[in-house]
Amino acid sequence: MSGMGDYRLSRRTFIAGALASSVALAGCASAGRSEKVSSTGRLRILSWTDYIDSDEQGSPGTVSRFGQSSRLEVVYSDAYPSNTDAYSTIFAPNLGYGHGVGWDVVVPTYWLASRLVARDWLEPLPLELVPNHVNLEPTFLTMPWDRGARFQMPWQAGLTGIAYNPALTKRETRSLADLFDPAFRGRVGMVTEMCETVALTMALQGADPSRPTRAAAELALEKLEAAKRDYQIKEFTGNEFRDRLRDGTFALCLAWSGDIVQLQRDRPDIRFVIPDEGGMQWFDTMVIPRHAANTAGAARWMNFVYEPANAARITAAVQYISPVIGVRDELRKLGGDAVQLADSPILFPDDETRQRLYTWGGLPADVEDDLDARFTTLTAG
């Protein structure tokens, strides 16, 4: 994992203005490699839960449409674990020893994708099979660890902030300090992503998560460990925080924007805010692991979901921020509730909100490993 820290995004990189995609994509068809593109009749996709639209039968709708148009048998799983678990149980034990992971497309979060790029564990995208790559928002072409997006195509982007139930908090919640307020002891949730929970605790303590130091991260971990010992924190979760908010277990918690928008369909009383101290921004991204059996099918899938009309259907369902140019117009064309999404400040945050967002800046590999281990111990049990 040497050099992992060099590939992380800074806040400035992620929210900077767009570069012209025609310049960024020049000459990047195969990222300098001339490897044979593999192909089979089956495509295997591993993603997160509740991260795609469904058809009338409850099956992933976009998957069904792609299968019909491509004539590929698509095996779609929404059992992707946390990024830390994915690295330790899926990627490292297999790719580290020259073996495939059993999936053609996997959807890790950007910081893990950067680690996989650094380890040379990803296939370069066969961009000659992905003409819709030109529909990628230009901001995503400037990542220092993958300029031109040659090894990954973003799936969805999102924000991490505070979700709360005003009937339980009895007040508006605007500060990260509220998560540590004894008034809410035993009714607070945190997420199981170190680069969000530790980062936002750092922000509360006055540190900049886009320029982290080991000392600042360890100070944040100490605060979180104390909060767990004191039963301030009820639980660390993935998107199970939706259920905890729904049943009243959590009065407030760190949460992911799209999941809360989904929850608000039947619980409009649940609120989501970017804290005064700032929130986190991130994106999950499609990658093709080394030794994948069907890189051609993976490329066709990426091309399919980068059709703006298809991307808009996904956005209308998952209600995260789409990386595909033209989705806002397509949402308006869909009509119904999708029209309101086109004006959502969560899906299309304004400049003032963006100025209060951080992206984890990264630390040297050995430091990140130490912090990961400590955070894993913290979140266990």
4-157+283-348: CATH number: 3.40.190.10
Q: Residue 42: in which H helix or E strand, if any?
A: strand 42-46
Q: Is 287 strand, coil or helix?
A: strand
- Could you say which DSSP state residue 208 is in? -
**223-258: string of b/e by CB count within 10 Å (b at 16+)?**
bbeebbeeebbbbbbbbbbbebbeeebbbbbbbbbb
How confident is the prediction along the chain (381 residues), in pLDDT tens digits per residue?
223 333 233 322 333 333 222 222 222 223 333 356 766 799 999 999 989 998 777 677 999 999 999 999 999 999 998 898 899 999 999 999 999 999 999 999 999 999 999 999 999 999 999 999 999 999 899 888 999 999 999 999 999 999 999 999 999 999 999 999 999 999 999 999 999 999 999 999 999 999 999 999 999 999 999 999 999 999 999 989 999 999 999 999 999 998 998 899 899 999 999 999 999 999 999 999 999 999 999 999 999 999 999 999 999 999 999 999 999 999 999 999 899 999 999 899 888 888 899 988 888 888 988 998 999 999 987
Q: Is 169 left (phi over 0), alpha (psi -120 to 50) or beta?
A: alpha
Structure tokens at 368: 């990140």
Residues 268, 161, 90: CA angle, nearest 5 degrees: 105
The answer to whether 4-157+283-348 and 159-281+359-379 have equal CATH topology is yes
Q: How far is CA 248 from CA 62, 273, 327, in A?
A: 33, 18, 35
Which residues make beta-bridge pairs with 357? Answer: 279
The residues spanned by each domain of the chain are 4-157+283-348, 159-281+359-379
* Separation between Cα atoms, residue 157 and residue 359, nearest integer Å: 12
pLDDT value of residue 36: 61
Secondary structure (DSSP) of 232-252: -EEEEESTTHHHHHHHTS-SE
| pLDDT per residue as tens digits for the range 126-159 | 999 999 999 999 989 988 899 999 999 999 999 9
Distance of CA 157 to the CA centre of its chain: 6
CATH superfamily of 159-281+359-379: Periplasmic binding protein-like II (3.40.190.10)
* Of the candidates 375, 12, 340, 5, the residue with the CA atom closest to the CA atom of residue 218: 375
pTM of the model: 0.80
Secondary structure (DSSP) of 128-181: GG-GGGGGB-GGGGG-TTSTTSSS-EEEEEEEEEEEE-HHHHSS----GGGGG-
* Separation between Cα atoms, residue 30 and residue 37, nearest integer Å: 10
Residue for token digits 């792609």? 66
Helices 308-318, 61-70: crossing angle, 10 deg rounding: 160
In angstroms, how far is the first alpha carbon of the chain from the final one? 28
